[in-house]
Amino acid sequence: MISTRALASVLCTLLLTENVLAVKTSDFKTCSQAGFCRRGRGLATRAAEAKSSWTSPYSIDASSVTISPDSAVFTAAFGLELRIHDDGVVRVRMDEVDGLLQRYNEAASWALISEPKVSKEIQWSAGKKDVRAAYGDKLEVVVQLAPLKVSLLRAGKEQVVLNGRGLLHMEHFRKEEKAPCSRGIRNHRPDPRAWFEGDDKTDLWEEKFNSWTDSKPKVGPESLSIDISFPNHGTVYGIPQHATRLALPTTTGDSPFFTDPYRLWNSDVFEYVASSTMSLYGSIPLMHAHSADSTVGVFHVMGSETFIDVGHASEKSTETHWISESGILDTFIFPGPTPEDIFKQYSRLTGTPVLPALWSLGYHQCRWNYVSSTDIRTVQQRFDEEDMPVDVLWLDIEYAPDHKYFIWDDKKFPDPVEMANDVAAYGRKMVVIIDPHFKRSSDFPVYKEASDNGILVKPKSGDGEYEGWCWSGSSSWIDFFNPASWKWWQGLFRTEPSKDGFTWTQSTKDVHIWNDMNEPSVFNGPEISMPRDNVHHGGWEHRDIHNINGMLFTNQTFQGVEQRTGGAERAFVLTRSFYAGSQRFGAMWTGDNLGTWEHMEVGIKMVLANNIAGMAYAGSDVGGFFGNPEPEMLVRWYQVGILNPFFRAHAHLDTKRREPYLLDEPYKGIIKNLLRLRYTMLPIWYTAFRETSVTGLPIVRPHYVVFPKDKKGFQLDDQYFIGSSGLLVKPITTKDARETTVYIPEDQPYYDYFTSQVHRGSSKGKEVTIKAELHEVPILIRGGSIIPTRERPRRSSALMKKDPFTLRVALDKSNSATGELYLDDGDSFKYRDGEFIWRKFAAEASGKKKIILKNHDLGKAKPQEAIDPNVPSSLTTFDPKNAYAKSIEGAVRVEKIVVFGLASKPSSVKLAGSALAFDFVEGVAANGKKEGTASVLTVKDPKVDVGNEWEIEISL
């Protein structure tokens, strides 16, 4: 019998010989092949054809309305409930009342960090035709009773409307009714619901796809359809993960861009298409709707397969239709009105991205597979010989014999602990893969213990253990919906022996984890996944919880890795599958991409889409997982990689080795400089991560987030800002390109990061041309920004912790600039107790002849805004002389200050009255109108601590 690995290798080799995209689309359903989606779209078609005569059958009897006397809650017939939270978010829930079975109602419990607080100040008022609540900044929620329609209004204008088109439909559980027979002829009685539900009765109680049959053991259909409209917002973003533009193209209406709706069904898609509505590895049912006036959003909490149609009744409006296979209606409406408000409203529900360990923001080197411990040591040695920085070395599945994860191949990896320690000796870490499928073998302790504990997913019968096929051959999957699995799984990552069972003694605290294949991927299952009628804890079917499944695996892994040190050190976990809330547990990547220019380009858009949906710690495999990119493409891909939050190179086992030190010159030298550039910018990335860990704002920010009123930027998704730093970047993703255009939306100078060339924008927006030879990556500094970097090249980030800083001060037209810097030990959780420094650098004009550059203490000024309020902390006041601040006092200084855009050469530069040495190169002034190279003032080693208050006076 041919092995799984051999079969996969043969398939991959054949696929790689084709110069075409190789995704096998027939393995995955389209809407027309999913009965519930077909019925949902049919409902929309009937409503559109009926036009104004269409009326939703869902109405509320006014006598059923019950309003809470002490909170902003009201309930009504058929399980409808509306709540308004303290922050103005509206929650709409509806469940089937007295149904034959309970619909799945636990999705929110996995996504939310806690039950939101309902307002006690806002009150509903009931009328004959509607129920209303007015609050906040001209906000009002109106629930029309007949037919049912829920609207959020601001200043009298509709912002979000549920069931405005009458497409709400909760298919009720029902018993199959066989039409009576007369003389052998089946007599079908007219269906009184056919005008609404249609007459398509196929796939209600059983559904076939390719060779698989979904038995649907529950009582009939259970889908949910809801139309959500944005009458005054013409652009929508979100609902990752899809390989497409950031501003979602249409799927319905006249000449739609796509003809199939966006699908959310976590899937292991082999070499996915670079422009498609196909489902990929993760699903976040969150959508932003945007206009120049405001931003609103919806979070439609479903764990089951969901299709979303997007159309535009006009240029200024958007209509969407959400069709899910199962579950209750549980939808959060975010009133905004700014993108920043939306991020905060969403993160208050689902949590903010975790503050990662500093080392994890460095460069990660991976491939399928490094074949031995000797290979790992050689890779590390080659990076050091070439003076290329790297922080993390990775191992894919081949470290484990027969893919029994946690177990080492003692011939290829005879000394795993010593290997990990050798890597850690240079301040580096390792990441090792742990997939969720476990070989069904009695000599594999992880499987044996899981089986003995009864915590494995069950087949449709509800008895025994589901058996499927994956890398390990015959495999079973742990049911992480079962709380009994949690403590056991977390304990596996302990590195000391335990009498309670298996622990990973052949590991160290410097080994972190990669969770792959957790959609889950099942090679012999329907759509390369688990059958929908499999049974999980609580009796729920897999169809109900599929999109949540991968998050629970990563959650417990993250906790296990964190707890092995007693909570002393931060964990790193990478996941392929994700859901709303996954941002709390680590990083994600965009999966099995190809080494093509198209995949390089769409990877940027996908990372942006994940960022606005909360999954900020995101990146794409540099170089592409499949294929052998030419040197030019590989260089450009590294330029993309250094500007992603998560920066990893990875490759398939059938590709040529492409570690950067193997390239010929000039490519090797270019990539070496790019790696060093990433490391000089680590303070920028770490500072951005602190902000997103508190506010939920994205790490990489598309144009509409930073300039929400600029209509010209609503479709931009190939350039973006890095946090609040002021860095505007536009990686090159086109072959042979040696220049590009960058859109500048404001009347301010933007400075080339490398040459200090000034590009001036316009209040109406302006495109400027940027030179981009192969060794150049377009990075601009927005006027008004101060950029802190560490310029000394090191082998790893751990060796940079005491290095000095360079401050780039890019003046705006008013000769002002600001920037932030956040530092802590980068590894522990001591920052939660106030062991950090958080500084604000500010340059301000003082009259016409002076500019004052100051260093302020933000930790002291805003201690409650320094860290995520949802994590355990003893921080109530901030001590500027905390233990971390003391540890770097006198050791971490500012060694250089570079000021761009002064109008003339300074007469003096002084610190506390003492003159500082400086150089000045004449050039273009920030407050002028000319373009060209900016003037550059360089202050040499002012000998000021980065963590102390100081003031430098520049006299002109």
Contact at 8 Å (CB) between 758 and 931?
A: yes
Q: Which has the closest alpha carbon to 408: 522, 480, 552, 508?
A: 508
Strand arrangement, sheet containing 700-701: 700-701, 720-722, 727-729, 779-782, 749-752, 757-760, 932-933
Contact at 8 Å (CB) between 478 and 549?
A: no
Q: Rounded to whole angstroms, what are the CA distances from 28 to 16, 390, 916, 945?
A: 21, 38, 67, 58
d(CA 210, CA 524): 12
Choosing from 227, 305, 519, 544, which is the catalytic residue?
519
Which one-letter amino acid corresponds to residue 196? Answer: F
d(CA 586, CA 591): 15
C-alpha 117 chain-centroid distance: 25
Choosing from 203, 319, 516, 544, which is the catalytic residue?
516
- Helix, strand, coil percent values for the chain (each to nearest 5): 25, 25, 50
Q: Which has the closest alpha carbon to 713: 702, 700, 728?
A: 702
Joined together, the tokens standing for residue 134 give 């007015």
Residues in Cβ contact with 115 at an 8 Å cutoff, skipping those fewer than 6 apart:
none
Tell me which long-range contacts 878-884 makes (C-beta under 8 A, separation of at least 24): 878/834, 879/834, 880/837, 880/947, 882/834, 882/835, 882/836, 883/830, 883/835, 884/823, 884/824, 884/825, 884/830, 884/831, 884/835, 884/836, 884/837
Contact at 8 Å (CB) between 754 and 776?
A: yes
Angle made by CA atoms 618, 403, 8, in degrees to the nearest 5: 75
What is the chain's alpha carbon radius of gyration, rounded to the nearest angstrom? 29
d(CA 546, CA 529): 9
d(CA 699, CA 806): 22
N-terminal to C-terminal alpha carbon distance within the chain: 82
Burial class (CB in 10 A: 0-12, 13-18, 19+), 871: middle
Q: Which has the closest alpha carbon to 541: 226, 219, 281?
A: 219
Whether 207 is a known active-site residue: answer no
Joined together, the tokens standing for residue 128 give 């004959």
Whether 130 is a known active-site residue: answer no
Joined together, the tokens standing for residue 195 give 């005008």
Strands 850-857 and 950-955, sheet pairing = antiparallel
Name the DSSP letter for residue 420: H
Q: Show the beta-strand stretches assigned E in 210-305.
A: 212-214, 224-230, 235-238, 262-264, 286-290, 295-300
Q: Which residue's entry shows tokens 């609050």? A: 135
Choosing from 96, 207, 268, 592, which is the catalytic residue?
592
Joined together, the tokens standing for residue 296 give 């609103």
DSSP element (H, E) containing 260: none
Burial 903-940 (b: 16+ CB within 10 A, else e): beebeebebeeeebebebeebbbbebeeeebbbbbebe
Joined together, the tokens standing for residue 196 give 């609404």
Q: How many residues does the chain have?
A: 956
d(CA 124, CA 76): 13
C-alpha 929 chain-centroid distance: 40
Name the DSSP letter for residue 908: E
d(CA 21, CA 27): 15
Whether 592 is a known active-site residue: answer yes
C-alpha 201 chain-centroid distance: 39
Name the DSSP letter for residue 535: B
Contact at 8 Å (CB) between 825 and 835?
A: yes
As annotated, the active-site residues are 516, 519, 592
